[in-house]
Every structure is written in C-alpha cells, then in structure tokens.
Amino acid sequence: MYFLRREKVSSIIMYFFLGLALVIPIVLVIGLFIKSNGVFDNNSISDLLFSTVWKPYQGKYGFGAFIFNSVLVTMLSALMAVPVCILAAVYLTYYTKSIYLKIFQPIIDILAGIPSIIYGVWGVLIVVPVISKYVAPFFHYESTGYSVFTGGVILAIMIIPFILNILIEIFKSISKELPEASIALGATQWQTIKYVVMRKAFTGIVSSVVFGLSRAFGETIAVLMVVGNVTQLPGNIFQPGYPLPSLIANNFGELMAIPGYESALMFAAVILFFIVMFFNIAARLLITRYENSVLS
C-alpha cells in the first residue's frame, strides 16, 4: 500500500494516534477538575472529605459518609476474597498438575468477563434474600438484605477472578528450585508454602490485593443494586449504605434541578479517580519491586 511505502507519512499518522491516546486521558482529568471547581465555593476541602452533612439544597456537600461506605464495602470484599484467592491460587500452582490450571483458567476468565449488571441481577435474586433470611438473623440482626454486607459479598465475587489471575502469575514466576530445596530438607508441602513460597511472594500478593481493592472501589452498578443507597453511616454491616460510585450513578438524572449539584458530583468522580489511582500506583510499585526481587 502506498502510505505504508512512505514510512514518514505512515509513522506521522501513527505518532498522531499515540499522541491522541496519551492526551485524551489527561484532558479527562483536567476537565473533571474544572467542572468540579464550583463545589469549593461554600465548602472547604476538609468539609468535603470528612463532613457527613449532605444537604444539596443548602449547597453543603460532605462526602464523609459516602467515602466511609465505599471504604467499608471495599474492605469487606477484600476480607472475603483474598483468603479464597490465595488458597485457590496455591492449590492450582503447587498441588495439582498443570492440566488442572488449563481446566480452571477458562472458568476464571468467564467469571472475569461477566458484566457487572449480571452480578447485580444475581445479587438481587440470590444474595439479598439469603442475607435477609439466613445470614443476618444468624448474627441476631434484622436486615432487608439490601446492605453494606451484601455489597461486599457481590464485590468479593467480582474481584476474585481478577486477584486470582494475578496471583497465579505470581506463584508461577517463583522458581521451582527454592520450594524443591525446602522439600528436600524434609519440610512438608504446606510448610514449604508457608515459610518459603509465601515469604518470597509476599510483595506480589500484597500488590494483587491492592489491585483488587482499586477494582472494587470503583465498581458501580452491581453494588448500587444491592447496597440499599441510604445516606448514613451504617451502625452495623447489615444496614444499608451509600458508596461513592452509586452516588454519582443515582443522581446524574436530576442534576439540572439544583445549581452546583453537577460540580459536587464531578468532585465525587475526582475523589474516586484519585483514590483508585493511588491504589493502582501503589500496586504497580509493589509489583515492580516484586519482579526485581524474583529476577535477582
């Protein structure tokens, strides 16, 4: 083709696309910033982040409750997902033949590919009734089932394939010599995992968890459908809550009604963006450190 024969022409076009792909996200962030500027008119930054007063009609926007709910849901999901992921990943990489990994990989991939709305529908159908009928009464709480805990369960299921995939890669990257040496010295398989593999993989495991946290923090629709969406600091985990992404998703329809509301929601998106980016950068630094430690 003509334009390929002229390398200069074709590479200019390619560089243009690269530039586009790099610049647009930066514009995204700047745009969000500019749009959210209005919220600073009658709120200080500490009010915005820590106050729990949410009165849009008076122009008071305290995101404290929403941030707290988001953190709570994310932590709950990590508590449930991480042990399952570590155990399953160890089992697949150290206890079974590699053929099993080939069998289970598609299952993990399918789980990872299911859209969040499907998780949401499933949560409403199964998880919500189970929690209101069995789990909450078991702990002597009353619950409609639409609760922070339900959100945590759904999120946990959603981040399991994500964390599991990273963990499998990490366990695979550890050279077989070290565990073999440990077994040759008379340690059992589990002792080897506990004292040798876990120690070697520690940074990698932490980074996979942080990746999972960042994924969970930004998840919107599935959580919105099961979490109850009540602006409050929940007294226990079986009460409804209102995480940050749900706030944005639920309120965009009515933002023209109240002046200044749009910039408040944009500010919510900015907070979300920064928290997720913080998690992501931390995880990436950890994983680079881990890769260096494995290679050396």
Partner 1 sequence: MRKKLLRIEEIFFKLLMILSLAIVVLVLSIIVYTIFKKGLPSLSWEMISQTPKGGYYFGKGGGILNAIVGSVYLAFGATLLAIIIGIPVSLLLNIHLKKFKRLVDSIRGFFDLLCGIPSIVYGAFGFTIMIFLGIKASLLAGIITIALLILPIMINAMDAVLKNVPTGLLQASMSLGANKSQTAFIVYLRQCSSAIITAIIISFGRAIGDTAAVLFTTGYTDNIPSSLLQPSATLPLSIFFQLSSPIPEVQNRAYASAAILTIIILIISLISRVLSGKYNKHKIS
Q: How far apart are CA 69 and CA 151, in angstroms?
A: 10
Shortest reach from residue 262's CB to partner 1, in Å? 9
- Pair 173, 294: CB distance under 8 Å: yes
- Number of other CB atoms surrounding residue 267 within 10 Å: 24
Shortest reach from residue 77's CB to partner 1, in Å? 13
Distances (CA, A) of 31 to 34, 35, 68, 80: 5, 6, 26, 36
Shortest reach from residue 235's CB to partner 1, in Å? 27
Nearer to partner 1, 236 or 278 (CB): 278
Shortest reach from residue 72's CB to partner 1, in Å? 17
Shortest reach from residue 245's CB to partner 1, in Å? 5
Per DSSP, helices labelled H in 252-295 are 261-295
Nearer to partner 1, 79 or 277 (CB): 277
Nearer to partner 1, 186 or 235 (CB): 186
Nearer to partner 1, 11 or 46 (CB): 11
- Number of other CB atoms surrounding residue 117 within 10 Å: 12
Q: Chain centroid to CA 284: how far?
A: 14
Indicate the Cα dihedral angle 10, 11, 17, 19, nearest 10°: -150
